[in-house]
Amino acid sequence: MGITKRHIHPLQANKLADYAKVLSNPARVAILNYVGDCDGCLCKDISEKIRLSQPTTSQHLQVIKKSGLLKSKFEGKSQYYRINVDKLNELKNLFQEFFEATEAKCN
């Protein structure tokens, strides 16, 4: 035991929790804020901006990218990160629906 029992919960609950987990670390939120600001960001720049080491930043970037919220493009040895706006909208709607559905039940 000690591991989350995903299989006993509804799919929707697992999905929301998975996305929430991406946002559950302030470094990742800060990264998303910064990547939104610049237009194509490098890992090195991000790591300096958020003041975490390059490897730590790289790992966070991979976690966010795996969720689909970030996309990236290599140009030579440089990898430029951008927000995936489609995915961002998907999340916005998912959270919105959760909050509204939960609120609607309370009447």
Q: Which of residues 23-42 bind DNA (CB under 7 A)?
A: 24-25, 27, 42
> Least distance to a copy of itself from the beta carbon of 16, Å?
5
**C-beta pairs of 39-43 under 8 Å, 24+ apart in sequence:** 39/82, 40/73, 40/80, 40/81, 40/82, 41/80, 41/81, 41/82, 42/78, 42/79, 42/80, 42/81, 43/79, 43/81
The SS3 of residue 41 is strand
Interface with a copy of itself (CB under 8 A): 4-6, 8-10, 12-14, 16-17, 20-30, 32-33, 36-37, 50-52, 82-83, 85, 88-89, 91-92, 95-96, 98-103, 105-106
Interface with DNA (CB under 7 A): 1-5, 21, 24-25, 27, 42-45, 52-56, 58-63, 74-80
